[in-house]
Amino acid sequence: MKPKKVSRREFLAASATAAAAAGAGAIGTTPAFSRDVHGGDKDPWLPHQADAPHPLQAPDYKFFTPEEAAFIEAATERLIPDDAVGPGAKACGVALFIDHQLAGAYGRAQGWYMQGPWSKGEETQGYQSRLTPSALYRAAIKAIEDHVASSHSATPFAGLAPDEQDAIISDLEKGKLDLGGVDAKTFFKMLWLNTKEGMFSDPIYGGNKDMAGWKMLGFPGARYNYLDWVDRHGQRYDQPPVGIRGRPEWNGEG
């Protein structure tokens, strides 16, 4: 086998340079939605193309109805309550965080394989709900409120005493509550993970307010360089946390 004499690269050169800049290229005479990066060309990036994250814009609810928001605020506060150890889910903005997640790509199950047929499957087979996270929350909250209404006077979940709320959450966790089309365990798992995400993810997403979740643990956040600390075995790290945006006082906010 010998290398080709006529280079394909030369054949295509003209159309492809324009293509890289435009994002959609041309291969031969065929319009193509792919991109050629040829050896020897410049890096295929234009300025300002860094894949930066999308922070939460405005601190108000976009997905939950007021009733749903009340449910989530109450439930997450039972999962991570405010106490002497540190702030709880409410103080950290967990419900707002979850709301914005559900309003976005995560809520739509973007990028997930969502084709049928649908079946519950074994415990070892992972997420099998037909519902997207946003649909799952909506359906589960409604089913839980219906359950509360039929078994606990007329108050919504948020109005119940903490130990009554705990009992309901515990039933969800164990899969004891029948939520109609929604698997209680699946909902619990999702709510619990999203709650922890809201407590401990970078504050740009609306949770972990004032980095309170990180401070409580002693996690320094997005610092990225601990070379000075590799040898300091057993010493307490003495620097405050920083987020992706730095610290509030660096941005004139604190």
Q: Which of residues 20-79 bind other proteins (CB under 8 A)?
A: 24, 27-28, 30-40, 43-45, 49-53, 78-79
Which amino acid makes up residue 154? A
Among 63, 179, 202, 209, binds other proteins (CB under 8 A): 202
Contact 51, 67 (CB under 8 A): no
Instruction: Count CA atoms within 13 Å of residue 30 on its CB side.
Output: 5
Instruction: Indicate the residue among 226 and 250 with the shorter CB distance to other proteins.
Output: 226
Question: Would you state the structure tokens that stand for residue 204, as one six-digit string?
Answer: 């740009």
Tokens 């415990």: give the residue: 123
Contact 197, 97 (CB under 8 A): yes
Cα dist from 38 to 2, 8, 9, 13, 45, whole Å: 21, 11, 8, 9, 13
Residues 89-118 interacting with other proteins (rule: CB under 8 A): 105-106, 110-115, 117
Among 14, 21, 22, 128, binds other proteins (CB under 8 A): 128
**Residue 17 beta carbon to other proteins: minimum distance, rounded to whole angstroms:** 12
**Residue 144 beta carbon to other proteins: minimum distance, rounded to whole angstroms:** 16
Considering only 59-67, 136-144, 147-155, 196-204, which stretch makes contact with other proteins by CB under 8 A? 196-204
Instruction: By CB under 8 A, tell whether 7 contacts other proteins.
Output: yes
Tokens 């070379």: give the residue: 227
